Structure 1
Amino acid sequence: MPDLPGFVYAMLLAPLGLILVAAIVKTWQVREARNWPQAPGKVVTSVAELRDVKVFDDDREGGSRLERRNFANVTYEYSVGGRKLRCNRISIGEDLGNFQVAERLARYPAGSVVTVYYNPRHPDQAVLERDLPKGLWGCLGIGTVIVLGVVFGSAFGFNQTYAYLSNHVGRPDLAGLVVAFAAFGLVIALMGYAVHRQASMATRWPVVPGTIKLSGIEDYRRASEPGERRGTEMFGRRVTYTYQYQNVSYTNECARVAAGTPDASDEMLRRLMARYQDGATVEVRVNPANPAEATLDARGDGRMAFVLWGIAAIFAALALFVATRGG
């Protein structure tokens, strides 16, 4: 076992633990739902809609912000004990948005007859699908093996690299710094490769017309700095665009600006709107495999890869400098 503090392993393995716990909870819910009675139902609404989803953001007070995502709103009616009920939950799994919107709308069009599985203790709780995704535990098992291999393999590799460098650099006490710089550089370089690959794929996505939409002003506070009671009040606005793909409407965000005063925010927005005018028609590249994912500038997204590679090169140069100069 590599000689690393226990909290290092805890931080590396915590995300995997949370995923496994969530999978266990969902599996238990599916087992419970298998005993739920069923009733005939009818889909009354089947449309795409925007919903606000709370996402992690450590730059804001409270550690979160709201993000608008596309969802399939499939609302269905059913009767239990003479009571007519409505629900819009499709499956046991959590719907985080921007995924399988078109597929679910196509699977449950308005007016279609469906089988509804409802909770006998709380009949207003129901689903149309009560199975976990096929191969979920198989994928989790393979993923767990890969994660464990990467974590412990990397830790072992870092230890071996550290031991080797301790005997081959001018300042053995700086071997850990060399390993850290090199590791950061490698991770950032891999991120750049992923961004470049995604942008390259996006240049081949089909193009549809879209419309720029400007959001209203948003008032929030930044996360407080050490010694501050509260963070700085900020004023932000978002620039989004709407588009249609195969008769389903979607909305995505293309820019966000924020400043400490409304006037400064408006000034930043005016500069941004030189590129994106409110109400303007734009070309949208849509991912055919997941139409909720799109971009206005695939090549611009790809340029971020070169920025990341530049940062990786700086870390590599720092590692080389420390290793050869010893300070």
Structure 2
Amino acid sequence: MLIALTPGLIFGWSFFALLLLGGGSLLLATLRNVRLLYRARSWPTTTGIVRQAELSEREDADGNTYRFRLEYVYVVDGETLIGREVFPGSDREWNGSMPRMADRYPQDGRVIVHYDPTHPDRAYLNIHPWNESNTGRLGISIICTLAGTFGIAVLLSHTP
């Protein structure tokens, strides 16, 4: 039996498949970050100094969003290293919580740096696995994944 591929059916399948794939990909990336941060809890620490701390602002349809660019230096086994992330991906994020982060890490301030002993150039300042970024991403990814799954299930139930 042939199924008539109407524009609405094609759009529905495409839309829900994208929701499912996008939500699933975001879910996997978030869980990877959480797993990394749980491992980081056992990493050694050293003291670092914030060399650069810059808060940028932009306005979008939802209001103001911010980006916090950070650069800190730390020493491991006599080698001076530069870190840029508070937590995985923080150097690429724009969101409303960045001013609080800027307050926590002022220019020339001392910070505790958690570094990967096998790759000392990988370091984070905040190793709490369920930081604001991960909890927000987890919520969005679950909603998208469920909506995509539900949409595909509805389409399948109405396909002869």
Alignment of 1:38-187 (within 5 A): 38-48=45-55, 71-99=67-95, 100-134=97-131, 136=134, 140=138, 144=142, 147-148=145-146, 151-152=149-150, 156=154
CA separation of 1:17 and 1:147: change in aligned 2, threshold 3 A: closer
> 1-side partners of 2:149 and 2:127: how far apart?
34
Shift of 1:70: 5.9
CA separation of 1:41 and 1:10: change in aligned 2, threshold 3 A: same
Map of 2:6 onto structure 1: none
Map of 2:34 onto structure 1: 27
Which AA in structure 1 matches 2:106? P
Shift of 1:109: 0.6
**Using CA pairs below 8 Å that are at least 6 residues apart, which structure has the higher relative contact order?**
2
> 2-side partners of 1:141 and 1:47: how far apart?
28
CA separation of 1:139 and 1:87: change in aligned 2, threshold 3 A: closer
Q: Check the 8 A contact 1:37/1:120 in 2, yes or no.
A: yes
Q: Check the 8 A contact 1:33/1:117 in 2, yes or no.
A: yes
> 2-side partners of 1:76 and 1:13: how far apart?
38
Which AA in structure 1 matches 2:36? Q
> 1-side partners of 2:156 and 2:119: how far apart?
53
Q: TM-score normalised to the size of structure 1?
A: 0.35
Larger Rg: 1
Shift of 1:33: 1.6
The Cα RMSD (Å) is 3.9
Task: Give the gaps of 5 or more residues in structure 1.
Answer: 51-68, 164-327
Shift of 1:143: 5.9
Shift of 1:118: 0.9
Which AA in structure 2 matches 1:91? F
> 1-side partners of 2:123 and 2:41: how far apart?
12
